[in-house]
């Protein structure tokens, strides 16, 4: 039985622990806190001050996950994928703005600039965004370096889900997998540079959904891929980590849905 004072200090501790995310230290603008700020595969990457002396960590945030082209203007939008249509993108103002040439619904490309400081800040050295709510600041930096290439792929032996007109079609358009090199994408037909934050039921060209009996993750970057038995991602089947990269993993159950997140210092959406 805990004493009243022990309960009181436990309650105080829990209150602080629960409040911690809301008290996320927003240290300042990108340009004032970060050096070597660059646009890499449409991620904003920089070496930013942690708040402890002059220590910096390298981190990044996926701009395609946050910015869209709205009629020729760069605009904040979750999963906006601005880079699909905009080109000649560059950072201005020390990395605090993104400038691109983007097509409006009709007519010539427009020269458009968005102020990244509106939704991206440095939190204890991490470039994070509040676009999807207050960001969760990692307690310690990742053990994985920020990759020079953030690409990752997944794939494997598959059939189309039960009830498809031609169940073998899915397996015929993606290669079977085998154990191989971590960075070999030949057997991973689905390639990404952004996190898969909402459950994805893989499909290719046609609306036939895949179900995998083997699953492979590939890429030099440290990503975690989770496979689920259902297309809503409620029943977890397997979690693949960088240690599993390059392996063709036999699944205990068919996988129909996937999510992924970076294990390096990368924003999770
Ligand atoms: C677009 O506008 C930016 C910011 O004003 C400027 O630096 C850039 O040179 C312009 N680009 C073009 C192609 O006009
Ligand atoms: C799927 O992958 C395994 C392991 O690489 C392989 O041995 C097997 O033959 C494949 N399954 C099918 C149906 O081809
Ligand atoms: C992957 O595909 C490329 C291009 O087709 C080929 O050159 C390479 O040898 C393949 N890698 C492996 C490990 O099979």
Over residues 22-37, the pLDDT tens digits come to 345 566 789 999 999 9
Contacts of 45 (CB under 8 A, 6+ apart): 36, 37, 38, 39, 58, 59, 60, 127, 146
* Nearest Cα residue to atom 10 of ligand 3: 186
CATH 2.30.60.10 applies to domain 26-129: yes
Separation of 153 CA from ligand 3 center, angstroms? Answer: 15
Q: How far apart are CA 39 and CA 53, in angstroms?
A: 26
Q: Which residues of 176-190 are buried (b: 16+ CB within 10 A; e: fewer)?
A: ebeebeeeebebbbb
pTM as predicted = 0.86
* Nearest Cα residue to atom 14 of ligand 1: 111
Residue 248 Cβ < 6 Å to ligand 2 = yes
* Nearest Cα residue to atom 1 of ligand 1: 111
Q: How far apart are CA 83 and CA 80, in angstroms?
A: 9
Count Cβ atoms below 10 Å from residue 158 Cβ, excluding itself.
30
Q: Domain ranges in the chain?
A: 26-129, 152-262
Residue 15 confidence (pLDDT) above 70: no
State the ligand closest to the CA atom of 175.
2
Residue 267: per-residue pLDDT: 94
Contacts of 256 (CB under 8 A, 6+ apart): 161, 201, 209, 210, 211, 212, 228, 229, 230, 231
Residue 172 Cβ < 6 Å to ligand 2 = no
Model confidence pLDDT, tens digit, residues 109-119: 999 999 999 99
Mutational pocket test of ligand 1: of 99, 100, 103, 110, the residue with most ligand atoms within 8 Å of the beta carbon: 99
């Amino acid at each position: 039985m805990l004493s009243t004072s022990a309960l009181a200090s436990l309650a105080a501790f829990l209150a602080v622990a629960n409040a911690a995310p809301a008290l996320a230290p927003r240290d300042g603008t990108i340009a004032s806190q970060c050096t070597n700020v660059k646009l890499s595969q449409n991620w904003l990457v920089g070496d930013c001050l942690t708040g402890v002396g002059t220590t910096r960590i390298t981190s990044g945030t996926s701009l395609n996950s946050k910015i869209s082209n709205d009629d020729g203007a760069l605009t904040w939008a979750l999963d906006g994928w601005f880079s699909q249509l905009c080109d000649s993108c560059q950072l201005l103002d020390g990395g605090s703005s993104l400038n691109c040439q983007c097509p409006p619904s009709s007519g010539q490309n427009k020269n458009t600039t968005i102020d990244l400081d509106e939704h991206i800040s440095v939190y204890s050295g991490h470039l994070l965004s509040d676009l999807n709510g207050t960001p969760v600041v990692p307690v310690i930096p990742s053990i994985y370096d920020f990759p020079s290439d953030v690409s990752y792929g997944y794939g494997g032996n598959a059939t189309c889900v039960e009830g498809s007109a031609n169940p073998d079609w899915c397996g015929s358009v993606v290669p079977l997998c085998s154990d191989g090199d971590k960075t070999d994408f030949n057997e991973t037909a689905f390639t990404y540079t952004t996190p898969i934050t909402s459950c994805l039921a893989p499909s290719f060209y046609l609306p036939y959904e895949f179900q995998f009996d083997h699953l492979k993750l590939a890429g030099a970057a440290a990503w975690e891929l989770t496979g689920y038995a259902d297309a809503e991602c409620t029943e977890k089947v397997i979690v693949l980590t960088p240690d599993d990269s390059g392996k063709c993993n036999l699944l205990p159950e068919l996988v129909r849905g996937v999510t992924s997140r970076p294990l390096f210092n990368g924003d999770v959406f």
